[in-house]
């Protein structure tokens, strides 16, 4: 990988971080973590959160992005 490719990759990652940060800040991702299949258990002293569906969604998105970047 040459220097230009590394530079483009870093710029792309930076733009992606800024976009995701703006979405979180604006509240556009407030649904994330509240999907059907995400398990929340609340007791008197204990709270457990198991984000099964949310993490499956993240896994699919990251896999698709990496597959697209490899081409």
- 42 in helix, strand or coil? strand
Check residue 48 and give its pLDDT: 96
The CA distance from 22 to 28, in Å, is 9
In terms of C-beta density within 10 A (0-12 exposed, 13-18 middle, 19 or more buried), how is residue 2 classed?
exposed
pLDDT tens by residue, 18-49: 999 999 999 998 888 889 999 999 999 999 99
Please state the pTM of the whole predicted model: 0.68
Residue spans per domain, the chain: 1-30, 36-71
């Amino acid at each position: 990988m040459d220097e230009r490719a590394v530079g483009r990759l870093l710029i792309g990652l930076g733009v992606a971080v800024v976009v995701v940060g703006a979405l979180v800040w604006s509240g556009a991702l407030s649904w994330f973590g509240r999907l059907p299949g995400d398990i929340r258990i609340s007791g008197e002293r204990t709270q457990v959160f198991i984000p099964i569906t949310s993490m499956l969604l993240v896994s699919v998105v990251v896999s698709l992005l990496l597959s697209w970047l490899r081409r």
